[in-house]
Amino acid sequence: MNDWYLKRYSFAQTETEGRLIIPGLNTFATIERPWIATSTPGGLPNESCVPDGVYQLTPHVRPDGSRSYALVSPHLGVYQHEHDVPPSGGRFLILIHIGNWVTDVVGCIAPGVRRFPMLNKKTGKLEQAVAGSGRAMREIMTLPWRPRNLHIITEAGTNKWFR
């Protein structure tokens, strides 16, 4: 139960969707920012999902005191803290945390119990979202809070929208 899997199946202009599979626990819907490549590794900071690959999930406490996991993979340009980022560039503080809409994540991953379009009160628009994100995170946090591996994979046949 140490390895988790995020299987992405939709790269749209406005969001990336997938399934977070935690063996022995559950499968959760996910929403992330769209993929935006840059000349530095890791994708565009604060605007892009992270590239496919294997990440270490490191326990992380957010400023509000809530527990989450930070993604770390130096060879993919993703670090836990800003001071870890080398002069050549990269990203930091990519978390798995509560969020329903893509606007709730700034390069992070939001899990939910299911996916469907919901009215976003911030934008007044019907947008693709995950529902029950708080419930999903509470369920995830029932597991021992310790380092794990996350394998991010794009499913075969997935069309990618690139910006």
Residue ranges per structural domain of the chain? 3-55+98-154
CA 55 → CA 96, 122, 134, 153, distances in Å? 12, 32, 23, 11
Question: How far apart are the C-alpha atoms of 91 and 107, rounded to whole Å?
Answer: 9
Report the relative pairing of strands 91-92 and 16-22 from DSSP bridges: unpaired
Contacts of 125 (CB under 8 A, 6+ apart): 119
Tens digit of pLDDT per residue, the chain (163 long)? 589 999 999 888 889 999 999 999 999 999 999 999 888 888 999 999 999 999 999 999 999 999 999 999 999 999 999 999 999 899 999 999 999 999 999 999 999 999 988 888 888 888 899 999 999 999 999 999 999 999 999 987 666 655 4
For Cα atoms 121, 126, 131, give the angle at the middle one, nearest 5 degrees.
75
Structure tokens at 90: 């990269």
Q: pTM of this prediction?
A: 0.92
